[in-house]
């Protein structure tokens, strides 16, 4: 499946702003593995969703109204409504980047703690050898 998006009004930001058309393709193999392409170049699904964050074409998009979406909007809880509004306002991409950065910081702290433990063990062995 391939979708072509008209970007002649430069709706997209970043490296894809210079393209008048954006082509997104997904190929699914017989074993169920998906391969994604952005303008003919192989990429991750995350790369594709990242391109459209903040444009209203995200996973919880307000631009394309699917069946049942209106009733979900009407019946949405405050937190769910906030997600729709954040996508419409274009801040969801920044929240996603913040979440990813927080996860990287968390993993880095965990790695530093492990390195500290290893360093302490090595120092004990060095003292024992002296």
pLDDT of 108 above 90: yes
**Strand, coil or helix: 9:** coil
pLDDT recorded at residue 4:
81
The domain in which residue 109 lies consists of 92-130
Residues 4 and 45 in one domain: yes
Residues 8 and 46 in one domain: yes
Residues 9 and 36 in one domain: yes
Q: What share of the chain is helix, strand, coil (3-state, %, to 5)?
A: 50, 15, 30
Can you tell me the distance from the alpha carbon of 39 to that of 21, in angstroms, rounded to the nearest whole number?
8
DSSP output for 53-107? TTTT-STT-SSS--TTHHHHHHT--HHHHHHHHHHHHT-HHHHHHHHHHHHHHHH
Asked if residues 55 and 11 have their Cβ atoms less than 8 Å apart, the reply is: yes
Average pLDDT, the chain: 82
Q: Considering Cα of 72, then 73, then 75, then 79, what sign does the dihedral take? A: positive
Q: What is the mean pLDDT of residues 51-73?
A: 63
pLDDT of 63 above 70: no
Residues 8 and 43 in one domain: yes
Model pLDDT for residues 67-77, shown as the tens digit of each residue: 676 677 778 88
Residues 84 and 114 in one domain: no
Can you tell me the distance from the alpha carbon of 22 to that of 6, in angstroms, rounded to the nearest whole number?
7
Residues 63 and 17 in one domain: no
pLDDT recorded at residue 35:
93
Instruction: Give the pTM.
Output: 0.46
């Amino acid at each position: 499946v391939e979708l072509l998006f008209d970007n002649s009004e430069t709706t997209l930001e970043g490296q894809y702003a210079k393209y008048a058309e954006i082509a997104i393709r997904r190929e699914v193999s017989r074993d169920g593995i998906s391969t994604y392409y952005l303008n003919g170049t192989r990429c991750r699904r995350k790369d594709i969703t990242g391109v459209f964050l903040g444009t209203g074409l995200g996973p919880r998009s307000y631009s394309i109204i699917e069946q049942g979406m209106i009733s979900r909007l009407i019946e949405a809880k405050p937190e769910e409504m906030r997600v729709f509004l954040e996508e419409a306002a274009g801040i969801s991409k920044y929240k996603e980047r913040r979440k990813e950065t927080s996860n990287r910081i968390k993993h880095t702290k965990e790695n530093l703690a492990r390195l500290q433990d290893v360093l302490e063990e090595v120092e004990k062995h060095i003292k024992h050898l002296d």
